[in-house]
Every structure is written in C-alpha cells, then in structure tokens.
Amino acid sequence: MDKFHEKPNVFVGEVTIKVQDLEKATAFYQEIIGFQLLKKEDKKVILTANGQTPLLTLEQPDHVIPKEKRALGLYHFAILLPTREDLSQFLRHIIQVGYPIGAADHDVSEALYLNDPDGNGIEVYRDRPSSQWTWNNELVHMVTEQLDGDGILAESSKSWQGLPKNTIMGHIHLHVADVKKAEEFYTKGLGFNIVSYYPQAAFLSTGNYHHHIAVNMWQGANAQVPSKNSVGLKWYTLVYPNEAERQAVVERLKQLGAPVRKEEDFYTTEDPTGNQIKLVI
C-alpha cells in the first residue's frame, strides 16, 4: 500500500459520529462493517480494526434527534482496505447479508457506499496503485463510473473475517456551506492542496494522495448547520507529523480568524461550516 497515511503527510486519523441507538449502531459496525470493539463506556463505543488503534467512535448524545434532512456536516467517512482481495471479501459478505449498497469506480479507487442505520454515510474502498493514477497540471483524474463488481468478486474466494488489521481511515467527505471558503480554510489554514474538482466540490490532500478531505455543496445553498444533538459528525482528527508543523498550522488558523482551542494534548478548530477538527500528532 502507498504511504499516503503516514508522516510526513497530514491525514485523517479517526472519526467520531453521533447515533440514536448505541447498541444498534455498535452491532451494525461490528457485524456488517467488521470493526472490533476496543472500549465501551456509558454513551460511547470506540471501534478498531487492529485491536489497538481507535478508528471510529460512536456516541449517543443526550436527547438525540434523527439525522436532519439537507443538513451540512458528514457526507461520508471512508474506510480504506489494504487490497482488492479484501474488497472482494467485503463485497461478498455484504451481498450475503443483503445490506443495500451503492458502488463506483473512481479510476484512482474502487468504492462501495452504504449508510448506517442512522443514515451516516460510509465508503469502503481500495486504492489502485498510485503509479496507475493520471495527473494533469497538479490535478488527479477521477471519474464516477460503473464498478466491475464481478471482477472484484473474482479476486478472492476466502470467507470474510471482518476488517483486516491494517485497515485505516482513508478520507472524510463533508457537506459545506461554501466550497470556496472551505478551500481557503483547508489550504491556507490546515496546509492541504487542491488535487481535483467536481461540480460544486473540491478534493484536497497532502503528499499527492487523491484526497484525504473532500468538500461539496450538494445539499444546496440553503442547507442548515445540524443541531448539536442530531445524528451526524461530532469531530474528526488530522494527524500532523510534529509539533512544529502543528504550531505553524495553529498560527495560520489564527491569522485566518478561525477558532483554535488548546485542549489536553491536541488543538480543536472548526471549518467555516462548523465541522469540528482535532489537530493531533
């Protein structure tokens, strides 16, 4: 696997989402997606793929309300599998359990899409080797075409055993109120580069990945910021290579007028739409 999710790159480490029914959501993420339980608290469950590293946290807020229609925030978080064989085993498992999915070939990757019981969006994908990606003037070529499901299923006949140990959080895709304002925040503030555009969407990364972050306005110009206690994204982490780089980001964010708070061993900020981000090392 290419090393786009290792230092010195900046990448998404883990994601925390809000759910209505913690037990139901935990069962889904273990039985359908294949996470392992790392830690369980009263209103919170931390999930892992390797038994050690937190990847996804589920929280049930007090007075939780369902996912709001046409709300900003999470479009999907994306779970990156190590190989096409792993995607083959996952696809066969999903077909066998009969869970509804979407699918697409993006040229740089092959992806499956599904929603959890609360409507939180999930992508499960594998990357093609970066040597096969096409770049043109610092923009990577991405498409949305029909997935070769039969070809993927033919890759492996092994039975599904849950998420492989070296599964990681590949990227996060967000609904935002203004793509241009989001671009400025993520490039000038957080240090990402724009690597692709779709209509009303931008894709950003470090280290020439196809994207660690994507932002879109597909919910429309009048989409609303979700309520604090509604289903959806709570926060996600960006992993920086060292304290010096993180401090430089903190200073740039302050110059942009973005909120930055020091908490324990991390900083918290939020993009112009209000998506919460923890800056970690």
pLDDT in tens, 253-278: 999 999 999 999 999 999 999 999 99
Name which of 171, 214, 165 is nearest 194 in CA terms: 214
If pLDDT is split at 50, 70 and 90, which confidence band does 190 have? Answer: very high
Q: Are 20 and 43 in contact (CB under 8 A)?
A: no
Task: Give the chain's mean pLDDT.
Answer: 97
1: pLDDT strictly greater than 70: no
User: Mean of the pLDDT values across residues 97-124?
Assistant: 98
Rounded to two decimals, what is the model's pTM?
0.97
User: What is the Cα–Cα distance from 51 to 38, expressed in whole angstroms?
Assistant: 6
Q: How far is CA 119 from CA 66, 113, 212, in A?
A: 9, 12, 22
pLDDT in tens, 73-88: 999 999 999 999 999 9
User: What is the Cα–Cα distance from 13 to 94, expressed in whole angstroms?
Assistant: 25
Q: Are 272 and 181 in contact (CB under 8 A)?
A: yes
Percentage of the chain modeled with pLDDT above 70: 100
2: pLDDT strictly greater than 80: no
The one-letter amino acid code at 199 reads P
Q: Are 204 and 186 in contact (CB under 8 A)?
A: yes
pLDDT in tens, 59-68: 999 999 999 9
User: Mean of the pLDDT values across residues 205-232?
Assistant: 95
Residue 158 pLDDT: 96
